[in-house]
Amino acid sequence: MRKTLLLMAALLGAQNLSAQQTDKDARMQWWREARFGMFIHWGVYAVPAGTYNGFPMNRGGGEWIMNRSKIPVAEYQAYAQQFNPTRYDAEQWVKMAKDAGMKYIVITAKHHDGFALFDSKASEWDIADATPYKKDLLKPLAEACRKHGIKLGFYYSQAQDWNNPGGSAARKEMHEGWPNPDSNRVNAYTKAHSGHWDPAQETQSFQQYIDSVAVPQVRELLANYGDVAVLWWDTPTNMTDEAARKLQDALTAQPNIITNDRLKRPNFPGDYKTPEQKIPNLSDLDGTDWETCMTMNGTWGYKSYDHKWKSVETLVRNLVDIASKGGNYLLNIGPMADGTFPEASVERLIGIGAWMKVNGEAVYGTKGNPLPVQKWGRITQKHNGKNTTLYLSVFEWPADGKLQVDGLTAKISKASLLGGKGKVTATSHGPGAVLTVPAKGTNDIASVIKLEVEGKL
């Protein structure tokens, strides 16, 4: 009898895990097909734009200026009077994302400075109550996303909050360039007060903050903007399992929502991992869904003097590299305080979009490379019934017109060049295949060869 009961319990457990995986696969389907999204870091920190007391930040993104410079709460909140984004055009933002080939947007509904881009009843430190703009910024964005078929997600800093009392603060000492004669005292206070530097941050407990601000605001985000595709948590500083459970329970209002892995480690792993500012090596991947988030320059929130922009070539090749490893690319924009994107960001979105318009099928809905890594570029694949479609994104076009594809031994039934009319032919060559290609590729960034291959690889 005992063995029978144990067997039944094991079977029920296996069935439950299978049902959970089926549910996850259904929720994640659109995300796995999208492969490319836009991250938006925007808030009051766009006003100082990386500079405090006339001195630029030594390091870190512009969104960290309050913590890095240990700006007092009242002084930082005064910046909100200058945050009046009258040039904000949500539909234009969404169209730029869509034209760049992005399928979803994740925006900082509330970052670590605690400022909400929406009209919140849980705190007056928001766009409607603390600024001259006085209008919810997320509602028009949600409407534009619905209109143009873009999924919308919200970043929410669930633990760190430097303005709403009780929120956590990372224990970073002040090492900024501006001459603050009080820095030793401030750093000593920070060490003694769990990262806080202003008594105004400590008028209630962390648990009171969770109950009075974080949970109610998450509920507002899930109730007032239609379907929310993603809840993107960040930095679980001082987070507890109890607090994480309350936040996760709030998500039941949107059963199809997906979440990342930053709510509270390790007990709340979410649906996917989030490597930041780096693309994992193949040896680092374990089969879990993942998404690299990355800046176009060196900052997430707008810094007026950060001109270290990645080239369109680098950004496109990053996207292809990530897709070839089965991941997603969440590429960041840091809008200015007036509501516009920096011109350099717009130029890069246009450049990426031009490549994606011709070659997007090599990214959307693909799986990772089934062959050895190739020196000349990256490979993605799609299953086509019993057969396979391979997309070869060639970064280094062969000068001799011969492209060696190591490890490809299956029969190639068809070969073509996306966006080009040149002929591509294939022959077997030892442990691989050789493609005879036109003298020139279609694109200096990456030319894509499409191969129809018999069987599943």
CA–CA separation, 364 and 32 (whole Å)? 8
Domains and their CATH numbers in the chain: 27-362 (3.20.20.80), 377-453 (2.60.40.1180)
**Candidate from 173-182, 278-287, 297-306, 403-412 with smallest mean pLDDT:** 173-182
Digit-coded pLDDT (tens) for 209-246: 999 999 999 999 999 999 999 999 999 999 999 999 99
What is 301-340 written as a DSSP string? S--TT---PPPHHHHHHHHHHHHHTT-EEEEEE---TTS-
CA–CA separation, 453 and 156 (whole Å)? 44
What is 14-70 written as a DSSP string? HHHHHHHHHHHHHHHHHHHHH-EEEEE--SGGGTTTTEETTEE-SSS-GGGHHHHTT
Q: How many CA atoms lie within 13 A of 349 on its CB side?
A: 25
Q: Is 28 exposed, middle or buried (0-12, 13-18, 19+ CB in 10 A)?
A: middle
Which pLDDT value is given to residue 2? 65
Is the whole-model pTM more than 0.85?
yes
Banded model confidence at residue 15, pLDDT cuts 50, 70, 90: low
Closest CA to 444 of 378, 380, 379, 396: 396
Mean pLDDT, rounded, for 260-268: 97
Mean pLDDT, rounded, for 411-426: 94
Digit-coded pLDDT (tens) for 172-199: 888 888 888 889 999 999 999 999 999 9
Kindly tell me if the per-residue pLDDT of 10 is higher than 80.
Answer: no
Return the H-helix or E-strand segment holding 414.
Answer: strand 412-417
Which pLDDT value is given to residue 431? 87
Which pLDDT value is given to residue 174? 85
Which pLDDT value is given to residue 21? 81
Report which residue type is found at 294.
M
Closest CA to 175 of 277, 301, 55: 55
CA–CA separation, 306 and 424 (whole Å)? 44
Banded model confidence at residue 17, pLDDT cuts 50, 70, 90: low
Which pLDDT value is given to residue 20? 72
CA–CA separation, 430 and 413 (whole Å)? 18
Mean pLDDT of the chain: 95
Mean pLDDT, rounded, for 289-314: 98
179 touches 139 (CB < 8 A)? no
Banded model confidence at residue 201, pLDDT cuts 50, 70, 90: very high
Which pLDDT value is given to residue 7? 62
Give the tokens for residue 64: 């960290």
Q: Omega before 266 cis (within 30°)?
A: yes
Helix (H, G, I), strand (E, B) or coil at 155: strand
Digit-coded pLDDT (tens) for 71-104: 999 999 999 999 999 999 999 999 999 999 999 9
Mean pLDDT, rounded, for 436-444: 96
